[in-house]
Amino acid sequence: MTVVDVRRDDEETPLLTESRLRQPTPLPYLQIALLLLAQLTEPITSQSILPYINELISTLDIIGGDEKKVGYYAGLISSLYFAAEAVTILQWGRLSDRIGRKPVLLTGLLGMTLSTVLFGLSRTFWTLVMSRSLCGALNGNIGVMKSAMGELTDETNRAQGFALMPVMWALGASLGPFVGGTLSRPHDHFPSIFAAKFWSEFPYFLPCLAGASFTLAAAIFVALFFKETLPSHIVNKAPGAAANDIATHGPVRKPIPLRALLTRPVLISVANYCMLALLDIALACMGPVFYSTPVELGGLGLSPAQIGLFLGLYGIINGTLQLLTLARIVRFMGARRTLFIAMAAFIPIFLWFPFANVIARSGGTIVPFLGLQILLMCVMDMAYATTFMYVTASAPSRRSLGGVNGLAQTVVSVVRTIGPAASTSLFALSLEQRLLGGHLVYAVLVAFSIASLVLVCMLPAEPWHSEEDA
């Protein structure tokens, strides 16, 4: 028997009260592929600096030869990116509700291209700060991408669509460190090819050039082939649009006021997203510092190439597992239970750090424990797709989708502004002052991980499904 979709598919329909379709709608794979290509640029450009950022900071005069201060300045660079993003991303999201998703996506991609090139040409701490701040200010894409994904999917295939976004991040998190670790200092690694003086003066320009080139290529593909997803623009730009189509979808309206976005579902969903972002950015920024810190000072003493290999393996394994299992796990266990398990994984993840240092100090092999950490982080990463679905489903209406995602990304950007500097600084302070034996940072992060589980329990089990199932 044919199932008829009886939804009111207009921009006023609350996403929390859409009717569930009995048969999954096929995904528009070409459009989603272009959207994911645009998303892939961000982890490649941002994660490529991780293998060498501490080494780069250590060469600057700002640390005064004290390598214990590297963590402070590495965290500050990451924090300033999110601070600049926090100031502008809500405006980008709300602008996309007016002019469409595609123009904002292209602006973000071109801004990332420019700022990545400038980062590679930076030779002082302050030029590094300026280039990262410029990237954050011009890049409002992450919220707009989630809005576009919400418009390209419905409640029958939304889990499948949003599950692809962490896969792209995992792929980028795999390629980025590999690019950064292998292409940095090319005059040392490939002297026969990169013998010119330029490569010794700008030893980290090549990985930045590779990331910028990929981003520019993605911008060209989006400009040529990606179709606008904002409903009002689809109606008004369609050739020969019939009057009854416009009557059905309604006239173009301005985005709803910001105050109208602050509903209980939005606030709870955003709060969960913020806690996830805080814990994850702390892990992402503190991890490389821990891996590179000498064993006797409380780390693992890994080289940039080893750090890049570890992060690359994590990206490959994580992307594969997310692609093959996440949508099935969500369907089997439910979204809230999946999110609870994923957030609970932060607890053993942070407890692993001091344990790994003890193993390294004793002279034991650390490889099996690195494998365990990869598996734990793969479980944790399931939280992103489920959280994205909660945020998308909490939008009061379709025409507020950009505003809701912009609001979520604004608050998360503020959290991510604080997270890197706070986590890396607390890590450095714990080691310097031997607070709790140098383990205070892990105790604090475990406490936050436990608190995050309380927020998960405040979510409904399946917020994006209708209460009016046929």
CA angle at 15 for the pair 14 and 21, rounded to the nearest 5° = 120
The per-residue pLDDT for 24 is 67
The per-residue pLDDT for 2 is 35
Would residue 253 count as lying in a domain?
no
Could you state, in chain order, the average pLDDT of each consecutive group of 10 residues for the chain (470 residues)? 40 50 74 92 83 80 69 73 80 84 92 91 86 82 83 78 79 80 86 87 90 94 91 54 37 60 86 92 82 83 79 80 83 89 95 89 84 92 88 77 79 77 77 76 92 93 47
Distance between CA atoms of 314 and 144, rounded to whole angstroms? 27
Nearest 5°: phi and psi at 272? -65, -40
Structural domain boundaries enclosing 210:
27-227+260-457
CB 108 within 8 A of CB 41: no
- Using alpha carbons, select from 346, 327, 466, 344 the residue that is nearest to residue 386: 327
Q: Output the six-digit token pair for 404.
A: 């809701």
Would residue 122 count as lying in a domain?
yes
Distance between CA atoms of 359 and 370, rounded to whole angstroms? 11
CB 270 within 8 A of CB 407: yes
Q: What length does the chain have?
A: 470
CB 231 within 8 A of CB 399: yes
The per-residue pLDDT for 176 is 83
Domain count of the chain?
A: 1
With tokens 């090139």, the residue in question is 117
Would residue 248 count as lying in a domain?
no
Would residue 152 count as lying in a domain?
yes
Q: Output the six-digit token pair for 407.
A: 């609001």
Would residue 387 count as lying in a domain?
yes
The per-residue pLDDT for 3 is 36
CA angle at 290 for the pair 45 and 179, rounded to the nearest 5° = 25
Would residue 7 count as lying in a domain?
no
Greatest CA separation for the chain: 76
Would residue 3 count as lying in a domain?
no
CB 235 within 8 A of CB 9: no
Q: Where are the beta strands (DSSP E) in 232-345?
A: none
Q: What is the CATH number of the domain that holds 56?
A: 1.20.1250.20
Distance between CA atoms of 227 and 197, rounded to whole angstroms? 45
Q: What is the end-to-end Cα distance of the chain in Å, rounded?
A: 14
Distance between CA atoms of 37 and 223, rounded to whole angstroms? 12
Rounded to two decimals, what is the model's pTM? Answer: 0.70
Q: Output the six-digit token pair for 181.
A: 């670790």
Would residue 115 count as lying in a domain?
yes
